[in-house]
Amino acid sequence: MVEVLTPIWLEIPDTARKILQRIGAVLDFAHIKGWREEEAALRSVRKGLPRQTDKVEHFKAMPFADIPAFMTELTTASPTTGRDALRFTIYNAVRSSETRKAVWTEIDLDKAVWTIPDERMKAKETHVVPLSKAAVSILRRRWKSRTSDDGLIFSNNGEKPISDMTMTKLLRDAGIKGATVHGFRSAFTDWAAEKTDFPKKVADKALAHKLSNQVEAAYRRTDFFDKRRELMAMWAEFIG
């Protein structure tokens, strides 16, 4: 196990720890079933690995001031599924997986609402996204060329989602080496904090962040939908 984990223990520490935990779960199961005589001594494995720091690596983000120029570049280029998906992701400040696996049945074009079911959300809670005019415009154009009424929105055949690398490649092709697709969520947060008067809790709700304070979460029933619609409209207007 030490040999397996050593190459990644410091490079991707969080993933390495998860792998160690899962190996332990497999070995514990084998012990319970009688397939192994001894329990796994994972503590000794950690002793054979270098000490990890507690430094958290955040997703690199494009500065929000640079996003309007990048969006113009995406918009003026010939439309592709990847470009549409990336623009839609940025407009809504959502995770790339939420866009890539979006289906038409989640969308209400007339009300300009996108309802992402709990099973597709990281926090396992349904997230209702107020769509800006720019985001709806992308959907209406793609609706005309859809392959089915309930298939994937950002797909060439309605059945297979585009890969995560499809959107990342657009950043690389534009010469943007540092930023990540996920980083646009951080850029949105920075923009909301510096350029708007909306409370942080509204921006957090737009990102579908869970409240760390369980007591506050229990008493806060609103999802700030109307305020979020205003915020997302301002974001869309800013980035163009």
Q: Taking the chain (240 residues) in consecutive chunks of 10 residues, what is each chunk's mean pLDDT?
A: 86 84 87 85 82 64 95 95 98 97 98 97 94 98 95 94 93 89 95 96 92 50 89 98
Query: What is the CA angle 98-101-102, rounded to 5?
Result: 75
pLDDT at position 54 is 57
Q: Note the pLDDT of residue 58.
A: 54
Same domain, 203 and 136: yes
Task: Name the E strands within the chain.
Answer: 107-108, 113-116, 127-130
Orientation of helix 81-92 relative to helix 225-239, angle to 10°: 130
Provide the sign of the torsion angle of the four alpha carbons 218, 199, 181, 76, taken in this order: positive
**Same domain for 147 and 82:** yes
- Host H or E run for residue 34: none
Q: Could you give the CA distance from residue 160 to residue 43 in angstroms, rounded to a whole number?
A: 42
**Same-domain pairing of 179 and 218:** yes
Which pLDDT belongs to residue 226?
96
Q: What is the pLDDT of residue 144?
A: 95
Q: Are 134 and 91 in contact (CB under 8 A)?
A: yes
H, E, C per residue of 67-127? HHHHHHHHHHCCCCHHHHHHHHHHHHCCCHHHHHCCEHHHEECCCCEEEECHHHCCCCCCE
With H, G, I as helix, E, B as strand and everything else as coil, classify residue 179. Answer: coil
Q: Would 217 be classed as within a structural domain?
A: yes
Contact by Cβ (8 Å): 231, 198: yes
Say whether both 101 and 182 belong to one domain. Answer: yes
pLDDT for res 1:
86
Please give the residue range of the domain that contains residue 79: 64-239
Residue 102: inside a domain:
yes
What is the pLDDT at residue 47?
Answer: 82
- Kindly state whether residue 170 falls inside one of the protein's structural domains: yes
How high is the pLDDT of residue 215?
Answer: 44
pLDDT of residue 237: 98
Specify the number of domains making up the chain. 2
Determine phi and psi for 157, rounding to 5 degrees: -125, 0
Q: What CATH number is associated with residue 119?
A: 1.10.443.10
DSSP for residue 152: B
124 and 198, same structural domain?
A: yes
